[in-house]
Homo-oligomer: A and B are copies of this chain.
C-alpha cells in the first residue's frame, strides 16, 4: 500500500517535470500506518466536523497528500488531477492549497506554519468539546513535519504554547530524514529535538519510519499520552530510489527515468505509471471507509441533541453570525452618537468587543502579551488554559507569529472566530502567517494597536510607519483604520461579516474625538471611503485622511473654509473596500478638479492612487522618533496648521511658489 503512494508520487513528479519526490518516498510508510490504522475521517463526507485533522506542514511533499486522498477515495483528487500535478488549473497544485480539494485542511509550503495551524485546530477541538461535550467534539490533530519546519522559529513558539496548554490530542509526526536542500541537516543544525520538545512540555517517542509496526506502536503510545506528543520517525529520504535515497538529490527534482525504472525493480512494482493494481486500490478504499460507522454514530448523537444546542452547533460550523448582532451594533452606534466619547480607537475596539463578545459566543480572543495595551480582553470571557479549555481568551505569550498561525488553525477548524492583538509594528513578526490568512481567505481578525508615531516615547522600533502600506499590499486582506468610535464599531462589524477575508484593525493608542455624529444606521465604513464633512459649495480642496488623522483633517477643513476655500473631508477607513466600489463612486472623490490632500501618519506609498503624484501628502517619509505623541506630530509636520499652510501655498496663484511646494 505504501508503494502505491511512492509510485504515484514519483510518477507524478516525473510527469510534471518538477516537484519533490524525496518526501513521499520516505514518508509513505508513516502515512500508510496513520491513514489506515489511526486517522478517523470519511472521504464521502470530508467536512464531517468531528473528523481527525491531518495537517501536512511539509507542504513541498504534496504528492504524499494527493496520493493519499486519491487512494482513499476523496472524489476531488481523481487520477487526472494527479496526472496534471503542478499544472495550471490542477487541484493538485505544487503545494497543497486549501480550498482546491476536500481533504486539504490547510495551505502549506512556507515551513513551520502547519505546526501553528495544528495547534490552533487542537485548541479549537478542546474548546468546542468544553462547550458541546466530548460526545460531539472528540478528535485528534496530526501534524506531519520535516526538519525545515522544526528549524523555523514559529515551531518553537507553537510547541511551547501547545505544551503550556497540554494539548494531549495533538500528535506530531517528524519525518526525520536528516536531509535538507543544502545537504545534511548536520551542516546547519545539531539540535537534540527530542530534548527540545520535552523541555517544552511534550512527550516524545521514536520509531523506524519504515517499520510499520514500530510506527503504529509509537503512535499508540503518543495518543495515550496526557501531553502533546512528538513521534520521531527515522526515515530515508527518497526511500526506494536507491541511487538518490538518503541524499539531498532526492529532495526537490524528478528522479529521472532510469532511477524510477530501477525503483520499480527494487520495490517490485511492475505497474505502468499512474496504475495501481485493483487489490491495492481496494485495500485503500476499505481503509478510507474505516470510520464511516463512527461518523454515522456521531450523526446519531448530533441528531439527538436538543434543538437549541444542535442549532447552535450547526450555526457555528456554518460560520453564520448570530441574529441580532446588527441591531446591537447599530444600537451601540446610536449610544456613541449620544455620548460622543473621546477615546482611543483601541478603547473603542474594547467597547465594540464588549458588545460583540456578549452576543457572539464563538469569538476566541487573545493577545501576544499585550492584553492591557491591545484592549482585547472583555469581562467574563475567561482565560483558556490547560485546566479550562472553556475560556475564550488566550494568553498567546510573546509569540506573534505563532498567534497568527494558530488563529489560522482556529479559523480552519471552524466553530470559532479568532481575534488576536499585538502592536501594529510587530505585524512584521507575524507576516508569514498573515499572508496565509489572506491566501486562504480566513475570517481572522488582527487587532493591531499603537498604530502610528502617536504611541509616543517607545520610539521608532515600536512606531509603525510603513506597516499600513505593507499590509494593504497583501491581496485579499482588509486593512481598516477607523477614525472614531462609530467607525470602529462599523469596522468590527465588517470584520465579523467578512467570511472569506481576514481583517486588520489598525487602532490608536491616543484618544480621538467622536467625529461621526450623523444619525444614520448605514455602515458608511463599508464603502471604504466616504464624505465625512462636506464643503460649503463646490469643493476646491479634498482632504483624505484615516484614523487619528481624520481629526486633523476636520480641523484643517474649518480653517480652510474660513479662508474661503470650500473643503471637504473624506474619511478612508479601508482602501480595499474603496477599491471595490463602482468607478462612478470612486471618480466622485478622485476625478473632480479639487486639490487633493492626504493625511496619514505613515508613508505615502499607495496614496498616489487617490491624490496623484502632484497631490499633497502630509505624513511620514522616514522612521519615527522617541518623544511625546503631540511633539512628534508637530516635529514631523502632521498638523492641521501644516495642512492649511501647504494648501494655501498651492492655491496661491503665483506659480513659482506652487512649484516650490512640489519639492
Residues A152 and B399 in contact in the complex (CB < 8 Å), given A191-B160, A196-B199: yes
Which of A201, A425, A459, A609 gathers most chain B CB within 10 Å?
A459
Distance of A515 Cα from B60 Cα, bound (Å):
35
B199:A192 contact, CB within 8 angstroms: yes
Check if A534 is an interface residue, CB within 8 A of chain B.
no
Interface size on A, residues (CB 8 A): 116
**CB < 8 Å neighbour of A160 from B97, B189, B401, B476:** B189
Which of A198, A369, A401, A438 gathers most chain B CB within 10 Å?
A369
Check if A110 is an interface residue, CB within 8 A of chain B.
yes
List chain A positions with a Cβ less than 8 A from chain B.
16, 18-19, 59-60, 86-90, 93-95, 97, 107-111, 147-148, 151-157, 160-161, 163-164, 180-183, 187-196, 198-201, 367, 369-373, 383, 385, 395-402, 425-426, 428-429, 431-432, 435-436, 438-439, 456-462, 465-466, 469-470, 472-476, 583, 590, 603-606, 608-610, 612-613, 620-623, 625-628, 631-632, 635, 662-663
What are 18 pairs between A and B in contact, CB < 8 Å?
A: A88-B626, A88-B631, A94-B456, A94-B626, A109-B458, A160-B189, A161-B189, A183-B395, A188-B396, A195-B195, A436-B461, A469-B473, A470-B470, A472-B605, A475-B623, A604-B609, A608-B608, A609-B613
For A396, the chain B residues whose CB sits under 8 A away are: 188
**CB < 8 Å neighbour of A161 from B188, B457, B610:** B188
B157:A153 contact, CB within 8 angstroms: yes
Distance of A623 Cα from B383 Cα, bound (Å):
37
B663:A476 contact, CB within 8 angstroms: no
For A110, the chain B residues whose CB sits under 8 A away are: 425-426, 428-429, 461-462
B469:A475 contact, CB within 8 angstroms: no
For A89, the chain B residues whose CB sits under 8 A away are: 627
**CB < 8 Å neighbour of A86 from B87, B604, B627:** B627
Distance of A183 Cα from B396 Cα, bound (Å):
12
Which of A183, A190, A625 gathers most chain B CB within 10 Å?
A190
Residues A191 and B181 in contact in the complex (CB < 8 Å), given A153-B152, A457-B94: no
B152:A157 contact, CB within 8 angstroms: yes
Distance of A613 Cα from B606 Cα, bound (Å):
11
A95:B191 contact, CB within 8 angstroms: no
**CB < 8 Å neighbour of A399 from B153, B200, B402, B620:** B153
Give the shortest distance, in Å, between A631 (CB) and chain B (any CB). 5
Give the shortest distance, in Å, between A135 (CB) and chain B (any CB). 30
Distance of A192 Cα from B160 Cα, bound (Å):
10
